Chain A
Amino acid sequence: MKPAPFAWCAPATLDEALDLLAGHADAARILAGGQTLGPLLNMRLATPSILIDINGIGELAGLHPDLAGLTIGALTRQSTLEDDPALAALQPLIAMAIPHIAHRAVRNRGTVGGSLAHADPAAEWPALVTLLGAQLLARSKSRGMRLIGADEFFITHLTTALAPDELLCEVRVPPSPPGAGYAVLEFARRHGDFAVAGAMVRLTSDAGGKLTDPRLVLFGTGRRALRARRAEAMLAGASAGTALFAAAAATAATEIDPYDDLHASAEYRRHLAEVLASRALEEALARMNGKRHD
């Protein structure tokens, strides 16, 4: 046993969990899959005095598709999404991204909400909700229910807009636009490791073949996943093509704020971002045009 001592409680309902959070605020940590919190506790980088284990709150898990899109409960495990045969048609980008998240044993425990609340800049979920324009629903006793847009949710490295007494309850993803082509590309040393850098793209076009509302998100390349807005503006209304994609990718690489760490220098991350962005644009285009089905 390596963690500092903590008390543990397992509320059976959402209401009980919110009461416990209200009563303990700063001293408490929520335990979801434990795939991030476990190592933090074992290394004593986190020393909460009480863990609120939400694994028994069934109402926080599951997928609910409807006309407004897809609602994903915060306690939904990554592998539940991975194994859902309906996901690829509902939200192709999420289905493509999940296999990149860690290893299967981690995905069997790790949750969507845990990943979002932890806000690792190299993680896939923050990039996904940023690109898809999802809304995050949080609840607390002091503020009631709040819907937070992905753009406002992530503040910086490991920091979100959640208050200490707030529980992230669900993610609301708008429907996938008809005919959209998607791509996720990342570079990691080993399959399942956090990306050194990654890019996600969504392309749609109008009847005349002009790109409409293009989305390009880079992750692992700054303090948070980032929509490359200037690159998107170059693409919007233009006809897709290799020269345009190369120019947009070069612009995107100037919008990020990469860092040096053990795995890569900032300069290398910027290089990767450009290469991955241009390849992801090409791949998304091929899928939009129906030339690629994998």
Chain B
Amino acid sequence: MSLSVLLSVNGVAREVALDDPRVTLLDLLRERLGLTGTKKGCDRGQCGACTVLVDGRRINSCLTLAASCDGARVLTIEGLAEEGALHPVQEAFIAHDGFQCGFCTPGQIMSAVGLILEGHAGDDPERIREGMSGNICRCGAYAGITAAILDAERRLAERNRAEAA
């Protein structure tokens, strides 16, 4: 059985031939496209290390078959910085020590970008923690992660205001 999927990954059109339908989006990113920023932690939806945005929404790439993603727009940690400038969420994670070993970080950052796009959390730390419940950090950097997301939201809001003015 041979399948081929056409997707946009970080703004670049990619056509990938799949020799096997068992390939998940996570396997496709890491093993077929060499994009190893997205991590495999549990492979069962429980840790969030594999979080990416598909058509603007955060999902666990370990639980999504690549074959189901034909035509999708995928954004991974590698595609977040624009022209060498870190995304405000990336900058805020550095400023607030939102990580220690860094293994969960790409998933945390993509999940945070998804959370901010959803627009439900506002500046309430409790709602941010709730909204990030699917992303586990084995190093326990949660306090820094929450502070980073609050700060990134402020920076993004300021940037949007500046652009509107």
Contacts and interface: CB of A to CB of B under 8 A. Distances in A.
Nearest to B119: A83
Interface of B is mostly: mixed
B114 A105 contact: yes
A157 interface: no
Interface residues of B, number: 33
B130 interface: yes
Contacts of A105: 48, 51, 58-60, 111, 114, 134
B23 interface: yes
Interface residues of A, number: 32
B43 A34 contact: no
A108 interface: yes
B19 to A, nearest CB: 11
Interface stretch (A6-14, A22-30, A147-155): A6-14
Interface in A69-97: 79, 83
A8 B57 CA distance: 24
A43 B44 contact: yes
Contacts of B62: 38, 42
Nearest to A1: B22
B127 to A, nearest CB: 10
A20 B115 CA distance: 38
Contacts of A104: 58, 111, 114-115, 118, 131, 134
Contacts of A192: 130, 133-134
B130 A51 contact: no
A34 B63 contact: yes
Given A1-B27, A51-B21, A102 B64 contact: no
A35 B134 contact: no
A79 B118 CA distance: 10
Nearest to A99: B130
A140 interface: no
B137 interface: no
Q: Which of A51, A53, A106 has the most CB of B within 10 A?
A: A106
A109 B43 contact: no
Interface in B59-75: 59-60, 62-65, 67-68
Contact of B65 (A31, A39, A99, A190): A31
Contacts of B58: 104-105, 108
A103 interface: yes
Nearest to B63: A38
B162 interface: no
A191 interface: yes
A209 interface: no
A241 interface: no
A98 B95 CA distance: 34
B45 interface: yes
Contact of A1 (B20, B115, B134): B20
B57 A38 contact: no
Contacts of A35: 45, 60, 63
A83 B62 CA distance: 24
10 contacts: A5-B22, A8-B21, A38-B24, A51-B21, A103-B133, A105-B48, A105-B60, A109-B63, A191-B129, A192-B134
Interface of B: 1, 3, 20-24, 27, 43-45, 48, 51, 57-60, 62-65, 67-68, 111, 114-115, 118, 129-131, 133-135
Given A34-B65, A38-B63, A99-B130, 17 more contacts: A1-B22, A1-B27, A7-B1, A7-B21, A38-B64, A39-B44, A42-B44, A53-B68, A83-B118, A104-B111, A104-B131, A105-B48, A105-B60, A106-B45, A106-B134, A108-B57, A192-B130
In the A-B complex, the 4 residue pairs with the closest CB atoms: A103-B134, A8-B21, A38-B63, A39-B44
Interface of A: 1-3, 5-8, 10, 31, 34-35, 38-39, 41-43, 51, 53, 55, 79, 83, 99, 102-106, 108-109, 190-192
